[in-house]
């Protein structure tokens, strides 16, 4: 087998093996106030915005995800937020157990951050994998 034939065959094999396994999110293409969801990460994991900014959370992976605030991880004056519009972290966790509040591949959800401070949020099914993010809201 000559070198060109070997390299062509190897390239096709590697491309095929890696298809669908990408943990890639192009933040520049998505917009500056967009948080992407890869297999088990928010991208970017940290984002700083001005008060009153709407952030779009976009599922760019083949796995279903949630965006769920930690009740103890948001400013005291801020309202709890979660996909599925649950009113508490416990309700969001229960909803996930019933397959509610999930974002599937290609779906997006938006939330407007009004109160300055740090917001910590997570994906319920991937929390143990470290799928946790932070939004810093400035005045």
Let me know if residue 121 belongs to a domain. yes
Q: What range does the domain containing 79 cover?
A: 22-138
Let me know if residue 11 belongs to a domain. no
Let me know if residue 35 belongs to a domain. yes
Let me know if residue 89 belongs to a domain. yes
| Number of independent structural domains in the chain | 1
Q: What is the pLDDT of residue 81?
A: 98
pLDDT, tens digit (0-9, with 9 covering 90-100), for 117-130: 999 999 999 999 99
pTM, two decimals, is: 0.79
Let me know if residue 108 belongs to a domain. yes
Q: What is the DSSP letter of 135?
A: E
Let me know if residue 5 belongs to a domain. no
Tell me the CA distances in angstroms from 54 to 14, 17, 31, 127, 134, one per residue in order.
Answer: 39, 38, 12, 24, 14
- Tell me the pairing of strands 117-122 and 132-138: antiparallel
Task: Indicate which CATH number applies to the domain containing 101.
Answer: 2.60.40.420
């Amino acid at each position: 087998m000559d070198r060109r034939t070997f390299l062509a065959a190897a390239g096709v094999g590697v491309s095929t093996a890696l298809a669908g396994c990408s943990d890639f999110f192009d933040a520049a293409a998505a917009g500056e106030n967009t948080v992407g969801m890869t297999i088990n990460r928010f991208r970017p994991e940290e984002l700083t915005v001005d008060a009153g900014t709407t952030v779009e959370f976009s599922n760019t992976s083949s796995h279903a995800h949630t965006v769920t605030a930690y009740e103890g991880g948001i400013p005291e004056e801020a309202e709890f937020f979660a996909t599925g519009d649950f009113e508490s972290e416990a309700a969001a966790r229960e909803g996930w157990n019933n397959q509610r509040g999930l974002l599937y591949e290609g779906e997006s959800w938006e939330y407007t951050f009004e109160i300055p401070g740090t917001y910590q949020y997570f994906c319920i099914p991937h929390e143990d994998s470290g799928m946790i993010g932070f939004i810093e809201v400035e005045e």
